[in-house]
Amino acid sequence: MTGYLHNFGSWFLGILSEAANFCGYFFLVLKTLFGRKPGSYRSGLTVLFKQVLFTGVDALPLIALVSLAIGGIAIIQSLSILPRFGGESFVGKILITVIVRELGPILTGFIVIGRSGTAITAEIGNMVVSHEVEALESMGVDPVRYIVIPRIFGVTASLVSLNIYFDICAILGGFFVSKMVLVTSIFTFLRRMLDAAQASDLWLSLLKGFVFGILISLICTYRGFCVRTSSTEVPQMTTKAVVDAIAAVFIADGIITFMYYV
Amino acid sequence: MGNIIEVRDVSCSFNGETVIGDISMGIPRGGLVAITGTSGSGKSTLLKIMAGLIVPDSGTVEVDGELIGSVSRNTLFLMRRKMSFVFQDAALLSNLNVYNNIALPLRYHFGMDEKLIENKVYGFLQTFDLMRVRNTLPAHLSMGLRKLAGFARALVVEPKIIFFDEPITGIDAIARRKVIERLLPLKRDPEVTIVTVSHNLDFIKSYADRIALVHEQRLFAYGTREETLSSTDPVLQTVLSTIVDEESAEADEVLGLLTGEF
C-alpha cells in the first residue's frame, strides 16, 4: 500500500514540478516579448517567415484534403438522418456548428501539432544537443527572442489563417456533396450557410485558432528546451510535446466553449 | 591594471559528481592563458563558468568588474557583446550558411545596414579563407573549416575577451596553422585577452603566456609559462607528461599519409 502511495506521490509531485517549470517558461517568454531588451528583432524575422511558410503554406494541401472530406462527410451523415424528421433545412446549421465552431479549430490544431509542433520540438532539441543554443547565449543572442518568439507568432498566425481556410474548404466539400445528393445550386447552399452562421461563430473559431496556436507553440518550444544532453531525448520530448499539446487543445476548447455558450 | 577575470572559490558538480572543486585564479588583461590538464579534469567546465555559460554551485566569477552570477539577463547579454566563445565543435547554427552564421551577431547586436554587414563579413571570410564556402551549410563542412568559421563568428564583434575551447584539437596541421595564424595578432593586442583550453603541449609551450594546470578537478598549478614548465615538482612534471592530444596526432598521421609531408 505504501508503495502505491509513494508512487502516486512521486507522480503527482512530478506533475506539479513540470507545471511550475512550464509556468516559469511562460513568464520568461512574456517578459522577453514585452520587456525592453537589447538586440534587434530583425534576425528573428527570417525565422518567422520560414515558420509561416512551413506551418501555413506547406500545410494547405493537407488541410484542403481533410476539410473537403470532413465537409462532405458531415453533409452525408446529416442527410442520412435529418430528412426522417423533416430537418433538411438544418444541414447548414449543423455544418456551421460542427465544423466552424468545433471540428475546424480542433482538426487544424491537430494537423499543426503533427506537422509543425513535432518539427519545432525536434529542431530545438537538436539545437540543445549540438550546443547551438549555448552558442547563441555565448554571442549574447537571447534564445527566447531568436528561437521562440518568431515561432509563436508564426504558428499562431498560420493556425488562425489555416482555420479560416479549413472552414471555407469544408463548406465547399459540403456543397459538392449537397450538389450530388440534393442537386442544390451554389447560391442556395451559400444562402443556407449564411442564414445559419452568426458573426459569433466566426469570432469563436478565430479565438480558438489564436489560443490553440499560442498553446501549441509554447508547449512544443518548451519541450524542445527540456532536452538536456542526449539525442535520444529528442524523440521522447517530441512525443511528450504532441501529447501535452493535444491535451491542452482539448482543455482550452472545452473552457472557451463553456465560457461562450453557458 | 587588475585582472580582467577573477574566479573565486568556484565549485561545480553534475549529477552528484564534482566537476570543479574550489578553484580560484585571476586572468590578467591581455595575452593568452592556457588551461590544460588530463581528460575529464574539468577544463571546459571551468572555461564555460568563466564565460557565464554555466552557473557554479558556489563561488563567484567577476568579468571586467561585473559579477557574472548577479547581473540581470539583459546586462549579461550586453556584456557578451565584448566576449566571444569558440566551442570545441564550433557549434555553428545548422540552418544558416557560413555567411549568415558570421553575420548573425552583427545583425542582432548592432542592427547594421546589410551592405555594411556584407563588407565586414566578406572581410572575415577572406581573412579566414572561407569565401568559397560562404554559402555552404555547416553539415557539409570539414571540422577544420567549421572551427575557422566559428572563430570568424567569434571575432566579427571585435571582442575584448575570447574563450577558446580546444582551438586546434581534431584538425590537421594545415587547418591548425591557419587557426594559429589568426590567433597570434590577437595575442599581441594588449586589449584582447584569450583564455583557451588545450591539451596540445606544443601549442601551450609555444603560445601561452600563463598556464593553468587542472588535475582531478582542482587547480594544480598556475603561473607564467616559464614558471610552470621549468618547475621541478615531480608530480607536476608527471601530470604534464600524461597530457596527450590524440585527435590532432591522428589527423596529422592521415595528412602525412596523403601528402607524404608530415
The tens digit of pLDDT for each residue in B184-227 reads 888 899 999 999 999 888 888 889 999 999 888 888 889 998 88
Distance CA B223, CA B232 (A): 14
Chain A and chain B share a number of CB contacts under 8 A equal to 79
Chain A residues near any Cβ of chain B (below 8 Å): 36-40, 42-43, 123, 126-127, 130-132, 134-142, 146
Indicate yes or no: CB of A130 within 8 angstroms of CB of B94.
Answer: yes
pLDDT at B253: 58
Domain B1-73+199-262 has CATH 3.40.50.300: yes
Average pLDDT over residues B24-47: 90
Q: Where are the domains of chain B?
A: 1-73+199-262
Smallest Cα distance from A73 to chain B, Å? 41
pLDDT at A38: 64
pLDDT at A159: 96
Distance CA B12, CA B57 (A): 5
Residues B24/B8, Cβ–Cβ less than 8 Å: yes
Cell of A205: 473559431
- A209 burial type by CB count under 10 A (0-12 exposed, 13-18 middle, 19+ buried): buried
Indicate yes or no: CB of B53 within 8 angstroms of CB of A127.
Answer: no
User: Residue A116: CB partners within 8 Å, gap ≥ 6?
Assistant: A51, A54, A55, A59, A155, A158, A216, A220
Contacts A130 to B, Cβ<8 Å: 89, 91, 94
Contacts A39 to B, Cβ<8 Å: 77, 108-109
Indicate the angle between helix axes A149-182 and A199-226, nearest 10 degrees.
140
Q: Where are the domains of chain A?
A: 40-261
Distance CA B211, CA A200 (A): 71
Average pLDDT score, chain B: 86
Spell out, as residue ranges, where chain A has pLDDT lower than 50: none
Indicate yes or no: CB of A132 within 8 angstroms of CB of B93.
Answer: yes
pLDDT over 50 (residue B262): no
Contacts A42 to B, Cβ<8 Å: 107-108, 111
pLDDT at B260: 55
The pLDDT tens digits for B168-178 are: 887 778 888 88
Indicate yes or no: CB of B87 within 8 angstroms of CB of A39.
Answer: no
Chain A interface, best mutation among B45, B80, B87, B108, by max A CB count within 10 A: B108
Residues B163/B84, Cβ–Cβ less than 8 Å: yes
**Number of residues that this document lists for chain B:** 262
pLDDT at B196: 95
pTM, rounded to two decimals: 0.88
Interface pTM (ipTM) of the complex?
0.87
Task: Find, among B100, B188, B89, the residue nearest to B144 by Cα.
Answer: B89
pLDDT over 60 (residue B255): no
Residue A28: count other Cβ atoms within 10 Å of its Cβ: 15
Percent of chain B scoring above 70 in pLDDT: 92
pLDDT at A255: 95
Indicate yes or no: CB of B153 within 8 angstroms of CB of A139.
Answer: yes
pLDDT over 90 (residue B236): no
Indicate yes or no: CB of A126 within 8 angstroms of CB of B104.
Answer: no
Cα nearest neighbour of B100 on chain A: A43
Residue ranges of alpha helices (H) inside A96-232 are 104-112, 118-129, 132-138, 143, 149-182, 186-196, 199-226
What strands lie across the sheet with B3-14, from one edge to the other?
B17-28, B3-14, B58-63, B66-67
User: Residue B154: CB partners within 8 Å, gap ≥ 6?
Assistant: B84, B85, B86, B162, B164
pLDDT at A64: 95
Distance CA A90, CA A78 (A): 9
Determine the distance from the C-alpha atom of residue A180 to the mean position of all C-alpha atoms in its chain, rounded to a whole number. 33
Q: Which helix (H) or strand (E) holds B37?
A: strand B31-37
Contacts B146 to A, Cβ<8 Å: none
Sign of CA dihedral A91, A96, A97, A103: positive
Q: Which residues pair with B197 in a beta bridge?
A: B35, B165
Indicate yes or no: CB of B74 within 8 angstroms of CB of A38.
Answer: yes
Indicate yes or no: CB of A132 within 8 angstroms of CB of B91.
Answer: yes
Smallest Cα distance from A160 to chain B, Å? 27
The pLDDT tens digits for B65-117 are: 889 888 888 888 888 888 999 998 889 999 999 999 999 999 888 878 899 99
Q: Which residues pair with B83 in a beta bridge?
A: B161
Residue B33, classed as helix, strand or coil, is strand
Smallest Cα distance from A145 to chain B, Å? 10
Cell of A221: 518550444
Residue B179: count other Cβ atoms within 10 Å of its Cβ: 20
Residues B47/B38, Cβ–Cβ less than 8 Å: no
Average pLDDT over residues B120-135: 94
Q: Which residues pair with B7 in a beta bridge?
A: B25, B61
Residue B56: count other Cβ atoms within 10 Å of its Cβ: 23
Task: Find, among B43, B20, B21, B42, the residue nearest to B195 by Cα.
Answer: B43
